[in-house]
């Protein structure tokens, strides 16, 4: 009975994200049996490329709609924004995202639990694809390579965000509940190492060209772009620079978009990977969240601190930020995605990886290796496109600091970049203590859900401060 309780309470988050294609049993059936009896039914999914591909597409759809990567209020673009100095929250309820903003987060907050559960649910589904593809005797090797690469990419991406917000966490590589019910948390460096290993394999397996026209299925260079990011986060400067260069040099695929008003359109040639909207009409969840037409803001506005971080003449402030006034009150909202809510013609997709980040990754990696001239060249490329003069930074420390500042105004409200940059550079306390009431060093990570610690003691200890 104890093992069954562990499965139904701890494993159901993993199982809840099973793809429901009519060919896979309902996840509810797993509650009532000690061993999931889905092998024959789920195997049928992988006897046909179309259904196998649909299973993988469903993983990406869930990543778009639920959890850490969604553009909705429960996702990182919002939560990490209010947690740091990007966004001001206008919500007040203790059951909403407000505790992230007010520095009152607890291990029992529903969002903390939901983010953990949804991420591992999606990882479970990715592992199910990996296992189904590996056992298939029908799929061609080319099809197997593509689907395996996509699933490894998804698994690495999700774990990279989990370790960013929760710190040490389990790295799940199987659908075997007997192994997963007692998993332990792995140190951040080890998790990054496993992410990198998955991505290296994914890059070897994935095709260079995109499947479809909207870049919503990752290719080889999407894996390399994510590799560049994680090498940077892991302090592997040469590798980060090399992978970023491998992406930047693919000029046949990626063409720099100089018009800032076109960077976040669905057909932008600088996009490396993006989520397509769920329907045939409508645009991004980020646009629906951030855009408002009258004050006070319904959810969030950009912080004055972020707005003032833009240099005079920075075209990103005029192109990617919109100002709303009412009497003496003024608010600013993110305007990268210009379509708000409503069923209108789809012009924007949620961009996860784009070319500008690769230039900034390479600039920082080069600077940290002492390649200062080349670092400044990459940094100034981004600045010039924003209408700014070249950086005045000279020393290594100055150039690195200039890159971090440039990342702030280039990547704001995109999947928690600001939070992770402050965290990895050790600047969270120095930057947020003056602007966040009650901020302290223990706030560098979010709490592991208390319910998970009760079910699986191997996840202990809880993060400091909770």
Write the CATH number for 13: 1.25.40.390
pTM for this predicted structure: 0.92
Both 160 and 266 in a single domain?
Answer: no
| pLDDT value, residue 146 | 98
Residue 301 belongs to a domain: yes
β-bridge pairing 87-89 and 300-302: antiparallel
Structural domain of residue 395, as residue ranges? 235-434
| pLDDT value, residue 13 | 40
Measured between alpha carbons, how far is 283 from 93 in angstroms, rounded to an integer?
28
Residue 100 belongs to a domain: yes
Both 176 and 292 in a single domain?
Answer: no
Both 82 and 29 in a single domain?
Answer: yes
The sign one gets for the Cα dihedral 200, 205, 206, 208 is positive
Residue 285 belongs to a domain: yes
| pLDDT value, residue 14 | 38
Q: Which of 155, 188, 206 is the last residue of a domain?
A: 206
| pLDDT value, residue 2 | 36
Both 187 and 336 in a single domain?
Answer: no
| pLDDT value, residue 7 | 39
- Please report, to the nearest 10 degrees, the dihedral formed by the alpha carbons of residues 312, 286, 169, 166 taken in order: 50
Measured between alpha carbons, how far is 116 from 97 in angstroms, rounded to an integer?
15
Both 281 and 136 in a single domain?
Answer: no
DSSP β-bridge partners for residue 89: 300
Both 167 and 290 in a single domain?
Answer: no
Q: How far is CA 428 from CA 232, 421, 442, in A?
A: 18, 9, 10
For 14, what's the count of Cα atoms within 13 Å in the CB-facing half-sphere? Answer: 28
Q: Which helix (H) or strand (E) holds 332?
A: strand 329-334
Both 409 and 342 in a single domain?
Answer: yes
Total number of residues shown for the chain: 466
Both 289 and 144 in a single domain?
Answer: no
Q: How far is CA 379 from CA 102, 139, 308, 342, 388, in A?
A: 34, 45, 20, 37, 11
| pLDDT value, residue 94 | 76
Both 243 and 122 in a single domain?
Answer: no
Ramachandran quadrant class, 112 (left: phi over 0; alpha: psi -120 to 50; beta: rest): alpha
Number of domains in the chain: 2
Both 254 and 198 in a single domain?
Answer: no
Residue 310 belongs to a domain: yes
- CB distance 207 to 171 below 8 Å: no
The sign one gets for the Cα dihedral 171, 234, 130, 70 is positive
Q: Which of 169, 186, 206 is the last residue of a domain?
A: 206
- CB distance 430 to 409 below 8 Å: no
Residue 220 belongs to a domain: no
Residue 443 belongs to a domain: no
| pLDDT value, residue 341 | 79
- CB distance 264 to 337 below 8 Å: yes
Both 57 and 109 in a single domain?
Answer: yes
Q: Which helix (H) or strand (E) holds 322?
A: strand 321-326
User: Can you give the pLDDT of all 466 residues of the chain as single tens digits?
Assistant: 334 344 333 343 434 334 433 334 333 222 222 333 344 347 789 999 999 999 999 999 999 999 999 999 999 999 999 999 999 999 988 778 999 999 999 999 999 999 999 999 999 999 999 999 999 999 999 999 999 999 999 999 999 999 999 999 999 999 998 899 999 999 999 999 999 999 999 999 999 999 998 999 999 999 999 999 999 999 999 999 999 999 999 999 999 999 999 999 999 999 999 999 988 788 999 999 999 999 999 999 999 999 999 999 999 999 999 999 999 999 999 999 999 877 789 999 999 999 999 999 999 999 999 999 999 999 999 999 999 999 999 999 999 999 999 999 999 999 999 999 999 999 999 999 999 988 999 999 999 999 999 999 999 999 999 9
Both 201 and 309 in a single domain?
Answer: no
Residue 222 belongs to a domain: no
Measured between alpha carbons, how far is 61 from 217 in angstroms, rounded to an integer?
11
Residue 466 belongs to a domain: no
């Amino acid at each position: 009975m104890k093992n069954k309780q562990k499965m139904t309470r701890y494993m159901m988050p993993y199982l809840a994200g099973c793809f429901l294609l009519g060919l896979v049993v309902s996840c509810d059936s797993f509650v009532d049996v000690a061993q999931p009896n889905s092998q024959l039914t789920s195997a049928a999914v992988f006897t046909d490329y179309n259904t196998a591909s649909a299973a993988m597409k469903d993983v990406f759809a869930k990543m778009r709609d639920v959890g850490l990567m969604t553009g909705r209020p429960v996702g990182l673009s919002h939560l990490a924004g209010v947690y740091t100095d990007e966004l001001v929250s206008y919500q007040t309820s203790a059951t909403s995202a407000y505790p992230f903003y007010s520095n009152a987060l607890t291990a029992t907050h529903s969002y903390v639990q939901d983010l953990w559960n949804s991420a591992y649910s999606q990882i479970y589904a990715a592992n199910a694809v990996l296992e189904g593809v590996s056992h298939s005797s029908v799929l061609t090797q080319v099809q197997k390579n593509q689907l395996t690469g996509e699933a490894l990419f998804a698994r690495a991406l999700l774990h990279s965000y989990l370790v960013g917000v929760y710190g040490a966490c389990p790295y799940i590589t199987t659908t075997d509940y007997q192994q997963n019910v007692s998993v332990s948390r792995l140190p951040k460096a080890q998790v990054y190492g496993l992410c990198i290993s998955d991505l290296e394999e994914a890059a070897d397996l994935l095709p260079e060209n995109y499947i479809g026209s909207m870049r919503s299925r990752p290719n080889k260079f999407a894996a390399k772009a994510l590799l560049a990011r994680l090498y940077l986060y892991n302090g592997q400067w040469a590798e980060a620079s090399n992978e970023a260069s491998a992406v930047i040099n693919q000029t046949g695929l990626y063409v720099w978009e100089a018009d800032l008003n076109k960077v976040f359109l669905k057909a932008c040639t600088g996009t490396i990977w993006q989520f397509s909207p769920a329907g045939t009409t409508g645009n991004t969840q980020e646009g629906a969240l951030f855009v408002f037409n009258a004050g006070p803001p319904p959810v969030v506005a950009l912080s004055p601190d972020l707005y003032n971080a833009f240099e005079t003449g920075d075209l990103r402030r005029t192109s990617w930020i919109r100002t709303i006034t009412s009497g003496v009150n003024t608010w600013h909202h993110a305007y990268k995605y210009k379509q708000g809510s409503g069923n209108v013609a789809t012009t924007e997709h949620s961009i996860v990886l784009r070319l500008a980040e690769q230039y900034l990754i390479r600039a920082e990696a080069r600077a940290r290796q002492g390649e200062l001239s080349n670092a400044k060249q990459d940094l100034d490329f981004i600045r010039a496109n924003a209408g700014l003069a070249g950086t005045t930074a000279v020393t290594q420390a100055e150039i690195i600091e200039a890159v971090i500042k440039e990342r702030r105004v280039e990547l704001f409200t995109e999947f928690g970049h600001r939070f992770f940059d402050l965290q990895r550079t050790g600047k969270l306390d120095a930057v947020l203590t003056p602007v966040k009431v009650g901020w302290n060093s223990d706030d560098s990570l979010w709490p592991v859900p208390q319910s998970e610690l009760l079910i699986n003691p191997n996840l202990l200890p809880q993060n400091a401060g909770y």
